[in-house]
Structure 1
Amino acid sequence: MARSCTFGIEEEYLLVNLGTGQVPATPSPAVIGRCREALGQYFAQEMFRSQIEVASPVFANLSEAREFFQYSRQRLRTTLAEEGMGLYGAASHPTAAWLRQKPAAPAHYRQLFADYRHVARRSLLNGLHVHVGVPPGCDRMQVINRVLGWLPLLLVLSTSSPLWVGQHTGYMSYRRVICGEWPHMGLPEPLPDWAAYERYRALLQRTGSLAVDGDFWWAIRPSRRFPTVELRICDGCPQLEDALCIAALFRHLVEHSITSRHDLAASNRELRWVAQENYWRAMRHGRQGEFIGLHEQRPVTAEGWLAQLQELLPIDTADAERVFYHAQHLLREGTHADQQLQCLAQARAAGLGRAQALQAVVAVGACN
């Protein structure tokens, strides 16, 4: 039986006009105020004025997470609808005019825009972040190294950003392409343990490359605020069950890495090459990609890769069984990126102009 770790989830959303489907550059203070009232302590302003975040409490099980997000999403939808606004949860908006978007008021965000200019302005993107708690004394960098190789599979399941500025980008997660423009936002450095992490951090701080209170934005990282390992690779998930599936799989991976202490992935140089290659293939092709198996290092489909994970992790609860079933469904029937592209194709085939077809895609990206 794997150790039961607590976990938390952070979801980012864009605010959209229900009539036009567009992201307003400056939503009214009343709209943001009502969102804050609806969520209370779980509300957070994100880096754009038109973007908010829900940061959950700590959960002990998936039922608690489902109940919380069903309530918070519904509360937000109802509140925003009264203001003529909606909640958009896919990782990229198909037509948002990113150059018109304004940074949020907090000084931290204004500094990001000053430091990174167009890279920050282009980052009108929604992500799904999952924190999993680890016991005292557990080396979080070693945990990260053990689970790293499976992260591209979790990205595949979450892909929801194939469209950007009205165009099909050719990527199923264009969000992660844009993330690659930032420093310290790809896969983490190959640091063998916590001592190496602290030396690396000290080096960057000593040389002016990282502020004393600065963060790494890696695809997976040790949180500075909490005793957790934080998953950051995943696109935002409009469908709640998709987000819960990914959160549960990541939690299972971390639990297994703590209890088994077996290498689950890229613990040596060659396996890290595999992780990097699979990461690119996940961004580009999503569930249609051909991947490299982590142990035999032979070609494997996304479904075959999930089956390997299913063999590795114990399925000892109804929740675990349900999670793997949902992941299989996504890989067989299509992730949200596939749904967006299908919606666009169907709308064009029905005779809609490109602008109308893209507006239909916006409706698909609304949070359920």
Structure 2
Amino acid sequence: MHRPCTFGIEEEYLLLDLASGRLLTSPSQRVARRCREVAGEYFAEEMFRSQIEVASPVFGNLHEARGFFQDHRQRLSASLAEEGVGLYCAASHPNAPWQRQQPRATAHYRQLFDDYQQVARRSLLNGLHVHVGVPPGCDRMQLINNLVYWLPLLLVLSTSSPLWAGQRTGYMSYRRVMCGEWPHMGLPEPLLDWGAYERYRALLQRTGALAKDGDFWWAIRPSRRYPTVELRICDACPALEDALCLAALFRHLVEQNVARHRAAPALSRELRWITQENYWRAMRHGRFAEFIGVHEQQPVTALAWLGQLQAQFEPDTVDAERAYQHARLILQQGTSADRQLAALQCALANGASAAQACQAVVRQVVAAGLAFS
């Protein structure tokens, strides 16, 4: 029996006015103080003044993670509600004007906005990040090479950004489309091992493409701060159980690959093309896409692809078994993106204006963030 890996979760939230559903542009000092008081050491500022992050402690199991995020979501929401403010947990707001948002004034974020200009100003987006600890001696780039093919499936399960600027985007994860505007934010480069990673990093630093303390923002990356691999591809999940499902699945995949001690070569040109194609299909169609499966490269549904994942990495813990069960439920019943589109369509069908329909979406997302099973 392999030793379980510890893990941590980072959730990003946007702050909005509960009455109107509009994002705040300049939250008051009282709002900022409430966030810090409730989240304490787990609170972090994000790119925009209307955006915050809760970064968890290290967990040993899903029960600990559930308790932590239920508590923090509930207490943050209750405290902020006294100021008329709510938490928006989806990856994109349906109609927030990004042009009105104010960036953080810290040196780090000033440099970020100066370097990336409108790409940064448009990135009013929330993600779900999961860190999984790996044992000493594990080559994290080889581990990533083993995991990268499955990343689009994890994105499918998380999709929550179908709307932007008051319009249906036609994508289930428009957030990941926008992430493509940034450098070093897509799939990881096909690097053979940790040595190749360090040489690549040194090359970019030497040529001015990456700052000395800079980092890659790949869909999955080796953390520079912790001995972890970090999943970054996922949209933020309004439903906490969806977020926990993704964390448990990713942890399970890491544990299984660490236990097998199998060094994978960098992605072949063909497999990288297949992964990139599946990635695009996941962004565009979500759970309704047909994907290129692991067996003989035949087209498969998202549900069948999940079955292939489970056959290859069988659950060996209660957390993993429950994660597979919940993932099947997501694919059968829908993601947040599906529910947002349904709320929008229902409101429009009942005579709501476009702005009112977007408000209905906001209400649905805010409620989902506090609907714990």
Q: 1:207-222 maps to which residues of 2 (within 5 A)?
A: 207-222=207-222
Q: Does 1:123 align with 2:137?
A: no
Q: 1:272 to 1:298 in 2, by over 3 A?
A: same
CA distance in 2, matches of 1:168, 1:263: 42
Q: Does 1:84 align with 2:84?
A: yes
Q: Which residue of 2 aligns with 1:294?
A: 294
1:17·1:24 contact (CA, 8 Å) conserved in 2? yes
Q: 1:138-149 maps to which residues of 2 (within 5 A)?
A: 138-149=138-149
The code of the aligned residue for 1:289 comes to A
TM-score scaled by structure 1? 0.98
1:266·1:274 contact (CA, 8 Å) conserved in 2? no
Compute the displacement of 1:270 (Å).
Answer: 1.5
1:9·1:128 contact (CA, 8 Å) conserved in 2? yes
CA distance in 2, matches of 1:205, 1:77: 42
SS at match of 1:86: strand
Q: Which residues of structure 2 form unaligned runs of 5+?
A: none
SS at match of 1:4: coil
Compute the displacement of 1:273 (Å).
Answer: 1.3
Bigger mean CA deviation after superposition, 324-333 or 1-10: 1-10
CA distance in 2, matches of 1:265, 1:305: 22
Q: 1:64 to 1:280 in 2, by over 3 A?
A: same
CA distance in 1, matches of 2:65, 2:182: 31
Q: 1:107-122 maps to which residues of 2 (within 5 A)?
A: 107-122=107-122
Q: Which residue of 2 aligns with 1:177?
A: 177
SS at match of 1:83: coil
Q: Does 1:29 align with 2:33?
A: no
Q: Does 1:243 align with 2:238?
A: no
The CA deviation string for residues 197-253 of structure 1, in whole angstroms up to 9 with x for no partner, is: 000000000001100000100000000000000000000001100000000000001
CA distance in 2, matches of 1:325, 1:256: 18
1:6·1:58 contact (CA, 8 Å) conserved in 2? yes
Q: 1:318 to 1:55 in 2, by over 3 A?
A: same
Q: Which residue of 2 aligns with 1:234?
A: 234
The code of the aligned residue for 1:16 comes to L
The code of the aligned residue for 1:322 comes to R
Q: CA RMSD in A?
A: 1.2
1:12·1:51 contact (CA, 8 Å) conserved in 2? yes
1:150·1:265 contact (CA, 8 Å) conserved in 2? no
CA distance in 2, matches of 1:207, 1:153: 35
SS at match of 2:232: strand
2:162·2:170 contact (CA, 8 Å) conserved in 1? yes
Give 4+ residue runs of structure 1 displaced > 3 Å after superposition: 261-267
Q: Which residue of 2 aligns with 1:49?
A: 49
The code of the aligned residue for 1:300 comes to V
1:91·1:175 contact (CA, 8 Å) conserved in 2? yes
1:49·1:102 contact (CA, 8 Å) conserved in 2? yes
1:16·1:88 contact (CA, 8 Å) conserved in 2? yes
Q: 1:1-368 maps to which residues of 2 (within 5 A)?
A: 1-262=1-262, 267-366=267-366, 367-368=369-370
1:274·1:294 contact (CA, 8 Å) conserved in 2? no
SS at match of 1:131: strand
CA distance in 1, matches of 2:2, 2:363: 40
1:348·1:357 contact (CA, 8 Å) conserved in 2? yes
CA distance in 2, matches of 1:134, 1:169: 38
CA distance in 1, matches of 2:263, 2:305: 16
CA distance in 1, matches of 2:133, 2:320: 18
Bigger mean CA deviation after superposition, 307-316 or 266-275: 266-275
Compute the displacement of 1:271 (Å).
Answer: 1.3
CA distance in 2, matches of 1:22, 1:186: 30
SS at match of 1:270: helix
Compute the displacement of 1:265 (Å).
Answer: 9.8
The code of the aligned residue for 1:79 comes to S
Q: 1:219 to 1:11 in 2, by over 3 A?
A: same
Compute the displacement of 1:189 (Å).
Answer: 0.5
The code of the aligned residue for 2:93 comes to H
1:147·1:265 contact (CA, 8 Å) conserved in 2? no
2:190·2:266 contact (CA, 8 Å) conserved in 1? no
- Taking every aligned residue pair, what percent have the same amino acid on both sides? 71
SS at match of 1:211: coil
Compute the displacement of 1:272 (Å).
Answer: 1.4
Number of residue-to-residue matches in the alignment: 368
Bigger mean CA deviation after superposition, 358-367 or 4-13: 358-367
The code of the aligned residue for 2:294 comes to L
SS at match of 2:234: strand
1:90·1:238 contact (CA, 8 Å) conserved in 2? yes
2:129·2:234 contact (CA, 8 Å) conserved in 1? yes
CA distance in 1, matches of 2:305, 2:193: 27
The code of the aligned residue for 2:21 comes to G
